[in-house]
Structure 1
Amino acid sequence: MRGGLASTDFGCRALLMGERMSGIRRRGLVGFAVGGALSGLTAAVLGASGSRSFANAVSRTHFRALVIGSGFGGSVAALRLGQAGVDTLVLERGREWPTSPTRPVFGSVTRITNDMFWFRRTTHWPGMVTVPVTPSPGVIEISEERNLDIACGAAVGGGSVVYTGVTVAPRRKYFEALYPSGLSYREFSQVWYPKVRRMLAPSPMPQDVYRSVPFTHSRIWDRQMSNARMRTYPIDSMFDWGVIRQELSRKVQLSSTIGDSDFGCSNGAKTDLTRTYLRAALATGPVQLRPLHEVRSISRRADGRYSVVVRRLGVDGTVLGTDEYSCEMLFLAAGTLNTNRLLVAARERGELPDLPADIGTGFGDNGDQINVRSEPLTPIGPAQGAPSASAAFFPDEFGLPLLVENWCVPEYASLPVTGTLAMTVDTDHRGTFRYDRGSRRVVLSDWTREKSAAAAEATSGYAHRVLAANPGCLPVSPNYPRTFTAHPVGGCVIGRSTDLEGRVRGNKGLYVMDGSLLPGNVGGANPSLTIAALAERAMAGIIAAGG
């Protein structure tokens, strides 16, 4: 038996428990409004604040399973553990962010607040003016690594709170070139991708939304592409089109239709994980969630259990205390950056000395590039809507296979510009996380500008073709000189640092369940769908095998 769950018949019990918990989950969801605060659901699981059951629940420090992080991998792991009846705690460093139809909750590029960035003293974002802010547990962390800025979510729901919602799978050719042969693309396309899609329910932008004024930039982008004889197609998104229609009719606070999305949609226009996987996980019963609990280190105790040291934070960033948790099963889903930080530090400090030597290797930026162009004589309207309507894929025209998606450029407000996010299939350029003993920090040690050059050249080739086919269209240089990625992946590569179900080699009961598993590149796609699908497949195997 791998992983050591309760007994060798766990697989059979898990299936039966999963069916029983499914009914509990459905009943538990009744009465919770779609846009409601997650804290209401948490209270339903733990009991009312101040009650004995609540006090007993929140004082516990040992759980059968600990999940670090509540993004795509962590939420999948929490749900499947809960359905199997496994006593589980999800630790999330970020805050819960209940949305509101009437007031702004999150800051934005055009409305800067102190709680946008994770413990920064100045703003740092493409197109955003640099101004002082008060350090706090904000919704996005920007890590200024050598020659690369890495953005990652820091909230209950992880990156799903701040991403653009695009939900797409890589093409078979590139999946098979990047991922281990034991992962069948046919299996993913027939089982795991559909399983995630059923849970998330992504959909393309409806025509009435596409034809509305805030998406003039999307229609201009499609026309520019058509003029260049480039075929675009609609892409699936995790936006709530009903809320967006309410924005269009001015019935709710404006958010997505004015591009206020990068730091979260205040009115709930984005269907993040707090409304899908994470909500269902908490409703199973055995799963708890503790926000503002930042994991500082992991190790193994003499009795074989894992020890997790956690710093408790106040909403303003005040350190309220430090606790030690323990568990038999530890699921790392802190996001690529922070999972690598925790594991590499644990290995190098001797806290988990048996971790594989290749933990921390195989990192990639998914070939991310940003491209902006202007058509000065074309009116674009007062603002740009955030959801991405269209994409195009070029397998061999620009050196590297290239996916381009229409993005909004909120910092340019009503100026006639269109934005593009480009992602390349890059199988070669990788980086390494290493522990710096002087600073006692894990850093991306060997990323060079040359490792981003091939992606930049492919994106430049694409841009030149579009400009040539659209007279009067001009290139725009974003006010952000550094290479930037919102899609960090790799470092704990599946099939190398772990087995094909995320078990870390040589460390019983230790699992990786996030973007760290991806081999430095998604394969010409945004990562969220593939991260969740890998986690679904992994959890099915872990539960069936009893660990």
Structure 2
Amino acid sequence: MPVNRRRILGLAGRGTLAALGAAVLGGVGSRTYAAAVSRTHFRALVIGSGFGGSVAALRLGQAGVDTLVVERGREWPVAPRRHDFGSMNGVTDTMFWFRRTTRWPALPPTPVRPAPGVMEVSEERGLDIACGAGVGGGSIVYTGVTVAPPRRYFERLYPAGLPYEEFTRRWFPTVRRMLGASPMPRDVYRSMPFTHSRLWDEHLATAGFRTSPLDSTFDWDVVRRELARAAPLSATVGESDFGCGNGAKKSLTRSYLPAALATGHVQVRALHEVRSIGRRRDGRFRVEVRRLTTGGAVLGTDEFTCDMLFVAAGTLNTNRLLVAARERGDLAGLPASLGTGFGDNGDQATLRSQTLRFHGGSQGSPCASGAFLPDQFELPLLAESWVLPAYHALPAIVTFSVTVDTDNRGTFRYDPRSGRVSLSDWSPEKSAAAARSALELSSRVIDANPGTLPVTLTTHPFTGHPLGGCVIGRTTDLEGRVHGVRGLYVLDGSLIPGNAGGANPSLTIAALAERAMAGIIAQAG
């Protein structure tokens, strides 16, 4: 059946990837559809549909490669007239990936029913690691900031074979264009829910720090409809961490993934959780998955096979899969460096009170601006205006910082008794320099703005930007090919050497994946 690209992308715009997939396969109930969904062997298989996996899916599809994408989480279609996601203001079972109690910064512990929710929070030793679980991966739950690291830190972190000029000329612009990233428009910035954004800028300017607008993947037209009360409120009331069901966020389900499906060579199967990977005697990779219902029940297990395996399950789960495969002997040849070089991207959050300026009782979640401060503190850092919904009705302002820490790293190790892979050696000391830098910035801003005070944020050590473990140039070559295992590729945040160099990592992850896929396709593997 010929693929009608215009129709496919129109379906994606309405947030119906499942309908889009059915349109490509020939329609639910047809023979072609039944044959397609019953297949278990593919030329390429991609684990995960986040920034790396979505890039891989699109470029493989465009090259005519028969590809399956498996995603453990649900598809969350755009629902302009209802709330599909839970939030800190309305906790639901679907917020967390199989938890019995909520665990999130500033959110009181609340009992929930275990379910395949949109956010996994893994309580690792010394650090909570958060990662998305849904079609679109981290793009569903991140806050949209799309920025590149400064040149000097990029060059300090990456091998010489990854020229910064190549990224700024080609790969970063490609990703920005695909994602539709742009800074917050002035009319949105001047609206009531973003009073906190203007105050943040004013406070930093008074302290002598220059702020600049940051590119974001929020859909400003939807945000404007919220401001006009023509759409359910989401982005303008601080919702982001657990998704924006009204389409206020340009997730990968509106860019890379529908374009991949529109090639006619890619399938996406949601609620397929990969449990193990290995190799069969015939040389094909095997991927064992369990199929889940939206309520979390296990429907059964399947084994898929492929010739090319792209692991893009996110830093936490890519390390879990590959370290376990090495230690159990399921996949021969995996390098000893696998599992090393983990970092938390220097993530830190600080709060301060504001002089009482009314912001309407809630604060908008999109980040308007940031300040990169390379030399003022112990570590270089990018400070961003932020929101924690638990505080947004209070006269408080949040700063989120990502610091350039090139020293502190951790390791994922396998425990044969439990059969689990965990972060084995993280401690508060490894985040201490980042914390000191963020607190010193907060103190400087408070001192320069009379009437403001520090607000204590009590939370577990936490990162939403886990990076490393399959470090590019060490565990893989410069195009994500895993050393020692032909046909195995890694394309996600685990390629980044523990720190994105003073940036939120989404742009760099996707740019590394774009560059890798160009090389892989050009060289046919």
Shorter-normalised TM range: over 0.9
Give the structure 2 partner of residue 7 of structure 1.
none
Deviations 1:298-345 (A, max 9, x none): 001111100000000000000000000000000000000000000000
Q: Which of 81, 85, 90 is equivalent to 2:64?
A: 85
1:274, distance to aligned residue in structure 2 (A): 0.2
Q: Which of 135, 140, 153 is equivalent to 1:161?
A: 140
Q: C-alpha separation between the residues in 1 aligned to 2:140 and 2:400?
A: 18
Q: Secondary structure at the match of 2:402?
A: strand
Structure 1 spans left out of the alignment, 5+ residues: 1-22
Q: How many residues align?
A: 524
Q: Map 1:153-302 onto structure 2 (within 5 A).
A: 153-302=132-281
Q: Secondary structure at the match of 1:479?
A: coil
Give the structure 2 partner of residue 489 of structure 1.
467
Q: Secondary structure at the match of 1:32?
A: helix
Give the structure 2 partner of residue 70 of structure 1.
49
Summarize the Cα distance change of 1:25–1:541 in structure 2 as closer, same or farther, 3 Å threshold.
Answer: farther
Structure 2 spans left out of the alignment, 5+ residues: none
Does 2:95 align with 1:116? yes
1:376, distance to aligned residue in structure 2 (A): 5.1
1:293, distance to aligned residue in structure 2 (A): 0.0
Does 2:504 align with 1:517? no
Give the structure 2 partner of residue 531 of structure 1.
509
Amino acid at match of 1:37: T
Does 2:338 align with 1:359? yes
Give the structure 2 partner of residue 3 of structure 1.
none
1:27, distance to aligned residue in structure 2 (A): 3.9
Amino acid at match of 1:36: G
Contact 2:120 2:133 in 1 (8 A): yes
1:31, distance to aligned residue in structure 2 (A): 3.7
Amino acid at match of 2:300: G
Summarize the Cα distance change of 1:107–1:130 in structure 2 as closer, same or farther, 3 Å threshold.
Answer: same
Contact 1:178 1:519 in 2 (8 A): yes
Amino acid at match of 1:485: T
Contact 2:347 2:462 in 1 (8 A): yes
Give the structure 1 partner of residue 301 of structure 2.
322
The runs of at least 4 consecutive aligned structure 1 residues that moved more than 3 Å come to 23-31
Q: Map 1:317-466 onto structure 2 (within 5 A).
A: 317-375=296-354, 377-466=356-445
1:378, distance to aligned residue in structure 2 (A): 3.0
- After superposition, the CA RMSD in angstroms is 1.1
Deviations 1:48-94 (A, max 9, x none): 22221111111110000000000000000000000000000000000
Q: C-alpha separation between the residues in 2 aligned to 1:28 and 1:64?
A: 26
1:33, distance to aligned residue in structure 2 (A): 5.7
Q: C-alpha separation between the residues in 2 aligned to 1:222 and 1:508?
A: 50
Deviations 1:219-250 (A, max 9, x none): 11111111101100000000000000000000
1:115, distance to aligned residue in structure 2 (A): 0.5
Query: Identity of paired residues, percent?
Result: 68
Q: Which of 270, 282, 295 is equivalent to 1:303?
A: 282
Query: Which piece of structure 1 moves more, 48-57 or 360-369?
Result: 48-57
Amino acid at match of 1:498: T
Q: Secondary structure at the match of 1:263?
A: coil
Q: C-alpha separation between the residues in 1 aligned to 2:516 and 2:403?
A: 26
Give the structure 2 partner of residue 503 of structure 1.
481
Q: C-alpha separation between the residues in 2 aligned to 1:279 and 1:171?
A: 31
Q: C-alpha separation between the residues in 2 aligned to 1:30 and 1:166?
A: 24
> TM-score of the superposition, structure 1-length normalised?
0.94
Summarize the Cα distance change of 1:33–1:512 in structure 2 as closer, same or farther, 3 Å threshold.
Answer: closer
1:396, distance to aligned residue in structure 2 (A): 1.0
Contact 2:8 2:23 in 1 (8 A): no
Q: C-alpha separation between the residues in 2 aligned to 1:424 and 1:33?
A: 36
Does 2:111 align with 1:135? no
Q: Which of 50, 60, 67 is equivalent to 2:39?
A: 60
Contact 1:258 1:384 in 2 (8 A): yes
Amino acid at match of 2:443: H
Amino acid at match of 1:125: W
